[in-house]
Amino acid sequence: MFELVSLQVSLPQTLGTDPAPDPMDRRWTTGFFKQPVAGEVWLSATNLAGDGQADLKNHGGVDKAVLAYSADHYPYWRSHLQRPELPHGGFGENFTVAGQTEAEVCIGDTYAVGSARVQVSQPRQPCWKLSRRWRTEDLALQVKANGRSGWYFRVLQEGTVQPGLTLTLCDRPYPQWTVARANRLMHHELSDRAAAAELAHCPLLSTNWRDKLLRRVGETQP
Which residue from 62, 67, 157, 169 is spatially nearest to 111, judged by alpha carbons? 169
Q: What is the mean pLDDT of residues 124-144?
A: 94
Overall domain count for the chain: 1
Domain presence at residue 202: no
Average pLDDT over the chain, rounded to whole?
Answer: 95
- Can you give the pLDDT at residue 220? 65
Which residue from 178, 12, 168 is spatially nearest to 97, judged by alpha carbons? 168
pTM of the model: 0.95
Which residue from 178, 102, 192 is spatially nearest to 147, judged by alpha carbons? 102
Q: What is the mean pLDDT of residues 10-22?
A: 91
Strand partners, 28: 15
Domain presence at residue 201: no
Strand partners, 106: 178
Domain presence at residue 125: yes
pLDDT 10s digits, 71-122: 999 999 999 999 999 999 999 999 999 999 999 999 999 999 999 999 999 9
Domain presence at residue 95: yes
- What single DSSP character describes residue 85? T
Distance (Å, whole) CA 73 – CA 137: 20
- Can you give the pLDDT at residue 117? 98
pLDDT 10s digits, 135-184: 999 999 999 999 999 999 999 999 999 999 999 999 999 999 999 999 99
Which residue from 100, 120, 116 is spatially nearest to 108, judged by alpha carbons? 120
Domain presence at residue 194: no
Domain presence at residue 55: yes
Confidence of residue 204 (pLDDT cuts 50, 70, 90): very high
Strand partners, 171: 110
- Can you give the pLDDT at residue 186? 97
As a whole-number percent, the residues of the chain with pLDDT over 70 amount to: 98
Q: What is the mean pLDDT of residues 53-72?
A: 87
Q: Helix/strand/coil (H, E, C) string of 101-125?
A: CCCCCECCCEEEECCEEEEEEEECC
- CATH number of the structural domain spanning residue 75: 2.40.33.20
- Can you give the pLDDT at residue 221? 58
Q: What is the mean pLDDT of residues 207-213?
A: 96
Q: Cβ(65)–Cβ(153) under 8 Å?
A: yes
Give the range of the structural domain holding residue 12, as residue numbers without chain letter: 3-174
- Can you give the pLDDT at residue 170? 98
Q: What is the mean pLDDT of residues 52-74?
A: 88
pLDDT at 222 > cutoff 90: no
Domain presence at residue 140: yes
Domain presence at residue 136: yes
pLDDT at 20 > cutoff 60: yes
